[in-house]
Structure 1
Amino acid sequence: MEIRTVTFLTLIFSVKGCDLEYVISGKEISIEDALALSTVAFRGFSSAIKETMTSDNFTIYFDLITVYKGEKLLNDWRKLNNYFRKINVTFSMTRNGPNCFAENKVPRDYIVFANLIGEDQQVIRAGSVTKWDENADLRVWKALGWSQWSDWSSCSVSCSAGIQQRTRHCLQEKCAGFNIEQRHCNLFSCNETVALLNLRDDKYFHPSMDRWQPVPDRATAWRLSANSYIWIPAIRLFPDEECHNIPKEFSLALTMRILNATLGTIFSLRSRSRQYIYLSLEVTGADLKLIHATEKGTDVVRIPAGLDDSQWHQIAFSIRDENILDVYVDCEWSRTEILLAHSLDVPDDCDIIIGYLFSGDLDQLSIINSDQAAKLQCSSSVIAIEDPDVRYTKEGFKLFAKKNLAKSRTHRY
């Protein structure tokens, strides 16, 4: 049985500061109902408040990010008002909030549900508003008839700037919006990158490479079982380094999927002569943990990653200044930690191990000789594309080519 959580736009509670949801509405209304009652719905950053206001009305300017509903109405309004990406919305205040306007000068990410009013429909009046988050975004699109997004595809290249896409399909005759999102990925230099899964020397694969399982729905990925792993001396990967070893400041980028709750090591640096010195990235259920063990002690950094959804995830971390750890999860900064053992201890006889006692799918595992590359694994900014030639069939998404395909693809916003 599916349990559905209903989120309401207006929450009635005592506020110390000011939220637009609290100030403008007097009743609770769901996202789905708010969308049905509005002719225009969009996502935008609240950028400024018009100081001249009546006791009941005020205007907030929004920087437009995404239009969910009423795109033609908004386009006509923007042309008449000479606005490109800025929209001014009139709000009716139903609750007193004397400190609201000063505090809302800080930009915030909202979904606004509104109607155009007046003789020439030149006033955009908000009916409801909610803070934007991924769940709210998905609910709006679902109410408009769209399926969930597919996983992001593999990056088109392992380094030097590629692209990846995800796709969705319309579940009704026609849907407002776009069906493809695209972003840049693997923006780090090829000269600094070692793609470990692209190694072709069979002696480093256990068992032999011909017994490794490919992933059926992802041609570039491998399915690892508990007895599948790669074991390679670091000197083989970094022969040009002065010490012939993995650098003390580096980045790791990986793309992974877990189909069942699991434990195991994804990546590990270990000394052959001093077994108590190692750096290890391990799976613990839905999360990851980075363990750094040295003679001075052991650090354990837990990384919330939400890996228990059977979806592909992109994880990257960088070590800079020899002891500062920057972590990114699915293209967003997650945390920065200081390793208490003061510095990364990389032994001269270092081995790299991938996948020991780990069960799951790996599509990317790259070491980059840069302490800034984690943020370059994938961009958090996406390009919306409307492509009528991509349609959903029983066999999945298919491209129905036209004579001039470029003309059928429209970049949005």
Structure 2
Amino acid sequence: MAVSSVCPAMGRVTARDLLFAILLLCRTIVCDSRCPKFAEKPLETRVQDASIVFRAVVVQTHFQRKTLDLALVSIYRGGLDLASISQYAGSPYNTTDRQVNLKISPQLGDCFNWSMEPSQSELVVFARISDPAVDLETTPPDGPWLEATASAVPWSLGVDIAIWNAVGWAGWGEWGSCSRTCGGGRQTRRRYCSRPTCEGYGEQMRSCNSFVCEGTINPLAPGARRNFHPAQARWGPVSDRPHAFSLRPNSYIWIASSELFGAGKTFPREFTLFVSLRLRPEVSESIVHFILASAIVG
């Protein structure tokens, strides 16, 4: 549905428009306005009251039993608790192909919109392990029930950041330089815990520069600065990145084809040029031009 259909003409908002907007917001698996008692709880309080907090996608709803089948996306808190009940071997924070079963208590039943078919809605769920003494349901084949401790909220980037902060993690830093310029390397980024201990990991790694080294040339290598124009001073160094530079306006690089394709090699009909850039956010107007130019000598 187009967003423009929600907005009245000439900027005037009527009661009908407001009702229509509220209905759109409530057409999700979760709607806090249906349970004001729990809607008053801020995210930080919901996190504190729950032993398990996770992000998940709704797979199936069961109105009669008041249960949800959820596929895990990420775990904010309680990874060890989840691993202890989910018959899962491996890292407790690895969510690949893991499904959990959530029970909704009677006092939270109205917080969930059961009239909709599952639409792959993404939620942040606050829960605990259900007490077997009061669990009258048959234990599902893929693990015991979890029980919601508060109304869930639709996932968004803002909610994600707020919950990570609530459990003690700061945001992820930038990815570091690749360990290799070709042939497959690793990049690392880190985040920091503001508490004595935080669940989860403070470091992530990913692969980079996976192309083969044979036939590659690095025009930004320290020994190739003669190619920097109009002056080397316009190419500022970047700490801890010997093959990266901070460019000033109107900087460019000029490389002779004889350096790219040495003696005995003809200029190929096809080749790949790989460039990685990061624009500075404080510069409001930045334009980057890529120009491949050649001079033909008769």
State whether TM-score is above 0.5.
Answer: yes
Aligned with 1:166 (options 155, 166, 189): 189
Residue number in structure 1 paired with 2:68: 60
Aligned with 2:227 (options 204, 214, 236): 204
In the TM superposition, residue 226 of structure 1 has moved relative to its aligned partner by: 2.1
Q: Distance in 1 between matches of 2:112 and 2:172?
A: 40
Q: Distance in 2 between matches of 1:269 and 1:137?
A: 40
AA partner of residue 20 (structure 1):
I
AA partner of residue 61 (structure 1):
D
Aligned with 1:38 (options 50, 70, 77): 50
Q: How does 1:281-296 map to 2 (within 5 A)?
A: none
Residue number in structure 2 paired with 1:140: 163
Contact 1:24–1:93 (CA under 8 A) maintained in structure 2:
no
Q: Distance in 1 between matches of 2:275 and 2:225?
A: 23
Backbone CA RMSD of aligned residues: 3.7
Residue number in structure 2 paired with 1:113: 126
Q: Distance in 1 between matches of 2:112 and 2:73?
A: 29
Q: Distance in 2 between matches of 1:213 and 1:271?
A: 25
Residue number in structure 2 paired with 1:21: 30
| CA offset digits 1:303-348 (Å, max 9, x no partner) | xxxxxxxxxxxxxxxxxxxxxxxxxxxxxxxxxxxxxxxxxxxxx7
Q: How does 1:396-407 map to 2 (within 5 A)?
A: none
Q: How does 1:233-272 map to 2 (within 5 A)?
A: 233=256, 236-237=259-260, 244=268, 247=271, 250=272, 252-258=274-280, 260-271=282-293
Give the 4+ runs in structure 1 shifted more than 6 A.
Answer: 239-242
Q: Distance in 2 between matches of 1:234 and 1:246?
A: 14
Identity %: 24
Q: Distance in 2 between matches of 1:35 and 1:214?
A: 44
In the TM superposition, residue 242 of structure 1 has moved relative to its aligned partner by: 6.6
Q: Distance in 1 between matches of 2:34 and 2:215?
A: 54
Q: Distance in 2 between matches of 1:269 and 1:238?
A: 19
Contact 1:165–1:180 (CA under 8 A) maintained in structure 2:
yes
**Higher gyration radius (CA):** 2
Residue number in structure 1 paired with 2:91: none
When normalised by structure 1's length, the TM-score is: 0.51
Residue number in structure 2 paired with 1:88: 101
Residue number in structure 2 paired with 1:77: 85
Contact 2:237–2:245 (CA under 8 A) maintained in structure 1:
yes
SS at match of 1:76: helix
Contact 1:42–1:67 (CA under 8 A) maintained in structure 2:
yes
Of Structure 1 and Structure 2, which has the larger fraction of its residues in strand? 1
AA partner of residue 157 (structure 1):
R
In the TM superposition, residue 142 of structure 1 has moved relative to its aligned partner by: 0.7
Q: Distance in 2 between matches of 1:169 and 1:96?
A: 35
In the TM superposition, residue 89 of structure 1 has moved relative to its aligned partner by: 1.0
AA partner of residue 63 (structure 1):
A
Q: How does 1:368-407 map to 2 (within 5 A)?
A: none
| CA offset digits 1:210-234 (Å, max 9, x no partner) | 7732123645421212253212355
Count residues with an aligned counterpart.
253
Does structure 1 residue 231 correspond to structure 2 residue 244? no
Contact 1:154–1:220 (CA under 8 A) maintained in structure 2:
no
Instruction: List gaps (5 residues or longer) in structure 2.
Output: 1-20, 89-94, 136-143
Of Structure 1 and Structure 2, which has the larger fraction of its residues in helix? 2
Instruction: List gaps (5 residues or longer) in structure 1.
Output: 1-11, 274-347, 350-413
When normalised by structure 2's length, the TM-score is: 0.68
